[in-house]
Structure 1
Amino acid sequence: MPLPPKTVADCIDGSDENPKFCSRLNRCGEGEFYCGGNEPRCIPVTEVNNGVSDCENTDLKSPLNDTHSPWKTDDSLKCFQLLGSGSFGKVYEAIDQTDVVNPNVAVKCVDIRKTLRCSAASNFSTRDVGYFAAVLNEIVVLSGLSNDHVVRYISCWAEAEGTEKLDRFQLQAYVDSLLLNSASSTGLMWVPPSNIYIKMELCQFTLKYFLENHQLIPNFANGHVAAIFKDIATGLSYIHSKGFIHRDIKPGNIFCKVHPICGCIWKMGDLGLATRDLDKTFGQVGTDCYRSPEMKRGFGYTTKADMWSLGLVFLELVQQDGNGFNVAQVSEKLHNLGISRHRYLYLKEAVVQERFAIWVKVINKLVNPDEMKRISSTELEVALNRIYY
């Protein structure tokens, strides 16, 4: 699969190599539905039966009308389509009619009651309240960050029964009161908002999606690798400079924004598990195969835990086995290779493609099992700028 277009104009002149991206970028005209899949295209309404597409082997993605919009208190935000879903809830693409410059946004919808498996009024433990507070963590972290290589936070709100709306500060005050009351109570009677919404900038795809397709790009070279590595390193270094550990770095949490002039801009996102960088942080979180050795062993860790995860992500981009690459097996092997020279030879001979050999040295420094010898995000930025290709 070819690289995404570098400019919007590529999608207009008919010469672009990536019709899937162009179809999503340009949307569909009035009276048409977007038909996704292997051959995405816009189809007339007359070819749609009760909202089900007649496109062969494709899924219809059409603008949702107001009655299907998951939020009820913001008429200026029009839901366009469902982008994805997970254990936390769903992410939608929406049109913000109040923003004439960047109207297309992503809205993460966290279904609180479904997550807590609760009804309108029930008896909850302090653990439930603690989880509810944890849901706000991504909002708190994102709202304090502003960098071209971190997914941009725009706003958030919560909705209770009916049309009651809580902004970020009202929501925070509500949770603080719950935590205060729970300090001396084993059970609480409280009614949580039904949903929390986080509005963010819209990105076109994730690094996970890119990894599943980039092996088919015949001209994928060190220049592309350098651009991706540097963008990600810049975003992570910024997060660390603000005193946070990401704790869930993996391809699915790294996003690409396709800018009409600048081309692909890679960004760190999904900071729901981020925490303050103290002297030592404890707790096994994130995706198991990307966890650092110190986290897996239950030891305290710092921002260096993120660097191990990032090293594995970098490996996925330059590895030999295509979609057959097993992150868990490689991670386990690296855990047991304490001597730097042995790791270097293993990476160079058994993991990394020969044409990407110039990246082995820096990756070897990222996947050092010894946290004290592992390079920091600031050192990584310097190291990447010294690599010539």
Structure 2
Amino acid sequence: MPSPVPVTRLLPRDFGLRLGALSSPLSRHAGASTLRVPANDSHGKLARRLWSSVVQWRELRGLEPIGSGGFGSVFKGTYFGETVAVKHVRRARNKLASRQSFWAELNAAHLRHDNLVRVIAATTTTTTATRTLSEEREDGEGHVGTILMEFAGDLNLQQVIYGAAEPLPSELCVRYAADIARALCHLHAHGVVHLDLKPANVLVSRDGVCKLADFGCSLQLGLDHEARAREIGGTYTHRAPELLKGERVTVQADIYSFGVTLWQLLTREPPYGGERQHVIYAVVAYALRPDLDREVLRRSAGGRACADLLSRCWSAEPNRRPSADELIPELRAVSELGFKG
């Protein structure tokens, strides 16, 4: 028998021990458009939060590669007849880092929210039944784990920002930002910090809804992560200065990254130019931040309100940044002010 991911790894403490059989974790309900966890007396309302530690490989079909990154590849396929994304995490040179990335991906697996990409199943087992995955991993020694997630869309926010011929309407930028803020609000309420928020890690559905993805750098606060504070990954252009200095991790690090992401949405420019080490030094030592002297941030009341919000989001002092809860009404106020000068 293969050794699955422990089902109690990230389930709520009050879930109880009567989990039932996990060999068939998901079922299609008649007329339903999404995969659902079958409910029973022991599950109740918490059933919606369950992810499975077993992948039914025979139900995983039609895989096609759609992307790759530092720790693995992503495929699109069908699972129980529904479209899913399959992330195959391979062992990198830094074996510990690749294992940490896999487990970090599951920090939000027990959460359900419209603006978070939902985890359906995850396992550390391998299979020869799926030819594409078998070719990708080459052998069991290079495999860390496989994660099945809802397929949230073909585009990420990076592609939306920099791939369109015309500038994004400012009102749409604020709406996208509000989706991200709602995702952060739910994460932070459950003690999870993302730590790699950037446009490339935000998927945009066909309905224009933003969903936060890629939790490979995330942490569950309240656990003993102080020793790992200096080892946290992420993208240096969006990384809070306290993390660049190896200081304590808080949810406010995500607020800093949110500010840089919102600035990119509104300006369609890269946050910084120059070499990595020079940018990091300037952010920490000289409070370098993306330039607020942009027309979209000057010409209207909404733009000026956005500029004020941005300056507070990337404050050098984490406790001076707004919380995720506070972002939502502030963005609503920006929308009401408007961007017409």
Query: Same fold judged by TM-score > 0.5?
Result: yes
Q: CA deviation at 1:209?
A: 0.9
1:316 is aligned to 264
1:84 to 56, 67, 79: 67
Any residues of structure 2 matched to 1:233-272 within 5 Å, and which? 233-258=181-206, 263-272=207-216
SS in 1 for 2:87: strand
* Map of 1:231 onto structure 2: 179
- CA deviation vs aligned residue, 1:332-378 (integer Å, no higher than 9, x gap): 7665666xxx989x514589474644411111110111112111111
Does 2:146 correspond to 1:197?
yes
Sequence identity percentage: 22
SS state of the match for residue 248, structure 1? coil
5+ residue gaps, structure 2, are: 1-54, 131-139
Is 2:159 aligned against 1:209? yes
Q: CA deviation at 1:248?
A: 1.0
Q: Which has the larger radius of gyration?
A: 1
Which whole-Å CA distance do the structure 1 matches of 2:188 and 2:116 have between them?
Answer: 12
Please state how far the C-alpha of 1:82 moved relative to its aligned partner. 0.7
Q: For the residues of structure 2 that align with 1:343 and 1:325, how far apart are their CA atoms?
A: 8
Q: 1:311 offset after TM fit, Å?
A: 0.7
> What is the match of residue 146 of structure 1?
112
- Residue deviations 1:18-47 (CA, integer Å, cap 9, x gap): xxxxxxxxxxxxxxxxxxxxxxxxxxxxxx
Q: How does 1:1-389 map to 2 (within 5 A)?
A: 74-96=57-79, 98-99=80-81, 103-112=82-91, 115=92, 128=95, 132=99, 134-139=101-106, 141-160=107-126, 194=143, 196-202=145-151, 203-214=153-164, 216-217=165-166, 220-258=168-206, 263-278=207-222, 281=226, 282-283=229-230, 284-319=232-267, 322-323=268-269, 326=272, 347-349=292-294, 352=297, 354=299, 356-387=303-334, 388=336, 389=338
Equivalent in the alignment of 1:29: none
Q: Residue 143 of structure 1 contacts residue 153 of structure 1 at CA under 8 Å; is this kept in 2? A: yes
Secondary structure in structure 2 of the residue aligned to 1:298: coil
| Whole-angstrom CA distance in 2 between matches of 1:156 and 1:194 | 13
**Contact 2:90 2:98 (8 Å CA) reproduced:** no
1:238-290 Cα shifts (integer Å, max 9, x gaps): 111110111111111111111xxxx2110111111111224985224211221
Partners of 1:349 and 1:207 in 2: how far apart? 21
Q: 2:269 & 2:97 partners in 1: Cα distance?
A: 38
Q: Which has the higher strand share?
A: 1
8 Å CA contact 1:334–1:369 kept in 2: the answer is no
Gaps of 5+ in 1: 1-71, 117-126, 165-190
- CA spacing shift, 1:87–1:381, aligned 2, 3 Å: same
- The Cα shift of 1:318 comes to 1.3
Note the alpha carbon deviations across 1:301-326, whole angstroms, 9 max, x for none.
3111111111111111112xx45652
Shift in Å, 1:151: 0.5
- The residue aligned with 1:43 is none
Per the alignment, do residues 343 and 111 of structure 1 end up closer, same or farther by CA in structure 2, a change over 3 Å counting? closer
Contact 1:318–1:353 (Cα < 8 Å) also in 2 = no
Q: Does structure 2 conserve the Cα–Cα contact (< 8 Å) formed by 1:207 and 1:256?
A: yes
Cα root mean square deviation, aligned: 3.3
| Residues in 2 aligned to 1:265 and 1:274: alpha-carbon distance in whole angstroms | 22
Aligned residues: 263
TM-score (norm 1): 0.59
8 Å CA contact retained: 2:126, 2:145: no
Amino acid at match of 2:157: L
User: Partners of 1:270 and 1:161 in 2: how far apart?
Assistant: 23
Deviations 1:163-209 (CA, angstroms, capped at 9, x unpaired): 69xxxxxxxxxxxxxxxxxxxxxxxxxx8684521111112211111
**SS of 2:123 mapped into structure 1:** strand
Residue type of the alignment partner of 1:253: N
